[in-house]
Amino acid sequence: MTADRLGLVVQVRLGSTRLPRKALLPLGGLTVADQVLRRLALVPADCLVLATDEASAAELGPLAARNGFELLVGSAEDVLERYCDAIRRFKLARVLRATGDNPLVSFELARLLVEEVGTDKADYRAQTGMPLGMGVELVEASSLLEAEREATLQSEREHVCPFLYNHPERFRIVRTEAPAPYRLPDARVTIDTAEDYESVLRLYGALYSGSPIGSEEVLRYLSGLKR
């Protein structure tokens, strides 16, 4: 690992059961995954990585390339291992973790999270209070490698950070409240179901003009729906 080398690693694959191949659904003239990557590319990082599985790599490889992301192919079910493969390959000191089903992920909040690193030492850092699908997680690479060595539960392998949550006596977990304008915890902008997709389509139809929509504009739109 290289000191302070930050990798933004987004996990994407096409094997979703609730909404098949959702990463490739059309959105704003591109695909859902394109919109995710375009937003995440606005976050300062030493490398940008799309981590996927063998079955998805042929279709996602060109998508990663056109958005400036490196492609990493790893385990389909052991997502923790997939992230640790990225740590080893790209010599990362910490990882900003994102997922491919959040086409309104907040690049602004992600930037704030990275800026918080110098304030205190934490193994895991995230924000709370914003709409579901806006957030990312920042994790020390050494902590994820430790989790990979020791995690045995399926739930600790098919997701990236549960081993850390499950051992607060070993890892320092820091969750800070998102800034006031972002606090809309009952809203959701993730895509998990067909209904979610239709909601995001409507939002993009109202706000999208060809470049990533600012998070504050998204929040104003969502707040209007709540009235």
The single-letter code of the amino acid at 220 is R
Amino acid 1: pLDDT: 60
Tokens of 152: 């045995």
Is residue 139 within 8 A of residue 94, CB to CB? The reply is yes
Is residue 100 within 8 A of residue 10, CB to CB? The reply is yes
140 vs 4: CA distance, rounded Å: 10
Q: What is the CATH number of domain 6-226?
A: 3.90.550.10
- Domain ranges within the chain, ordered by starting residue: 6-226
8 vs 48: CA distance, rounded Å: 5
14 vs 16: CA distance, rounded Å: 6
Amino acid 222: pLDDT: 96
Category of 4 on φ-ψ map: left (φ > 0), alpha (ψ -120 to 50) or beta: left
- Which residue stretches of 67-140 are H helix? 79-90, 107-115
195 vs 157: CA distance, rounded Å: 29
128 vs 55: CA distance, rounded Å: 33
Amino acid 67: pLDDT: 98
Distance of CA 208 to the CA centre of its chain: 21
State in Å, rounded, how far the first CA of the chain is from the last one. 49
Looking at residue 104, what DSSP letter applies?
T
CA distances to 30, 98, 152, 177 from 51, in Å? 20, 10, 22, 28
* Average pLDDT for runs of 10 along the chain of length 227: 86 90 97 98 97 97 98 96 97 97 98 86 95 97 97 94 94 95 96 97 97 97 82
